[in-house]
């Protein structure tokens, strides 16, 4: 799944998504799950997104690439949250880099294979802000990818998520859960200062999370 959070001058987050096979939110509620991590499981606004009509279980890599490139073509800066992954793919990595180079910030799941994130796409892409998952003790989760391609670690174990089927809540683990949380923080930062570049966002996010870490410690 690819989600785009555009924060415009009216302060409203507008979320668009594209699904892709092999995504890690693999349930009927995948959209609600990741979207509720961007904002809050208790106040999630599921009416505030656009679903790609050609996306779904049989979606191809080319549809995902087209979706990523579409975000890069927008004249409004936004946050792209990508909760999917697979083996290295030059086309996906190029799409991520071109989108980043056009001013969009891309938060990308590191993957759940317990290996180097540098062996996966889009986690290994230039311009991706790659997110690994932590557990309750602020250590790497047992499932998460890791390594030099990881930029930050975010809570991703037994996360509270909205469940549209029951009207209540669910729990799930994965870097797919960790990534939208980072995207939500990034959206707040961009909402405060719409002139921020992706590199400035990266620096700010690392500083924010480091300050939180030392405050908790």
Q: Quick check: 113 and 92 in contact, CB under 8 A?
A: no
CATH class, range 2-216: alpha beta
pTM: predicted TM-score of the whole model, two decimal places: 0.73
Q: How confident is the model at residue 202 (pLDDT cuts 50, 70, 90)?
A: very high
Domain ranges (residues) in the chain: 2-216
pLDDT of residue 59: 59
Task: Quote the mean pLDDT of the chain.
Answer: 75
pLDDT of residue 18: 35
pLDDT single digits (tens) 34-66:
554 554 444 444 444 434 433 444 457 888 888
pLDDT of residue 215: 54
pLDDT single digits (tens) 68-117:
998 888 888 899 999 888 889 999 999 999 999 999 999 999 999 999 99
* Per-residue three-class SS string for 119-169: HEECCCCCCEEEEEEECCCCCECCCCCECCCCCEEEECCCEEEEECCCCEE
Give the mean model confidence (pLDDT) for residues 154-182.
76
How crowded is residue 81: how many other Cβ atoms within 10 Å of its Cβ?
32
pLDDT single digits (tens) 157-167:
877 666 666 66
């Amino acid at each position: 799944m690819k989600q785009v959070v555009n924060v415009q001058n009216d302060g409203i987050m507008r979320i668009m998504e594209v699904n892709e096979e092999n995504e890690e939110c693999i349930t009927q509620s995948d959209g609600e799950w990741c979207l509720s991590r961007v904002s809050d499981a208790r106040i999630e606004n599921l009416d505030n997104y656009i679903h790609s009509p050609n996306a779904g279980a049989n979606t191809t890599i080319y549809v995902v690439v087209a979706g990523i490139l579409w975000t890069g073509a927008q004249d409004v800066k936004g946050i792209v949250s990508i909760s999917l992954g697979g083996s290295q793919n030059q086309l996906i990595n190029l799409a991520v880099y071109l989108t980043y180079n056009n001013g969009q910030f891309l938060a990308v799941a590191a993957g759940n294979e317990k290996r180097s994130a540098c062996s996966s796409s889009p986690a290994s892409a230039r311009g991706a802000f790659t997110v690994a998952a932590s557990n309750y003790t602020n250590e790497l989760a047992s499932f998460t990818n890791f390594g030099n391609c990881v930029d930050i670690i975010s809570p991703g174990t037994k996360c509270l998520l909205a469940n549209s089927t029951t009207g209540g809540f669910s729990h799930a683990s994965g870097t797919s859960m960790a990534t939208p949380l980072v995207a939500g923080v990034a959206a707040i930062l961009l909402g405060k200062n719409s002139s921020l570049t992706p590199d400035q966002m990266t620096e700010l996010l690392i500083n924010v999370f480091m300050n939180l870490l030392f405050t908790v410690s």
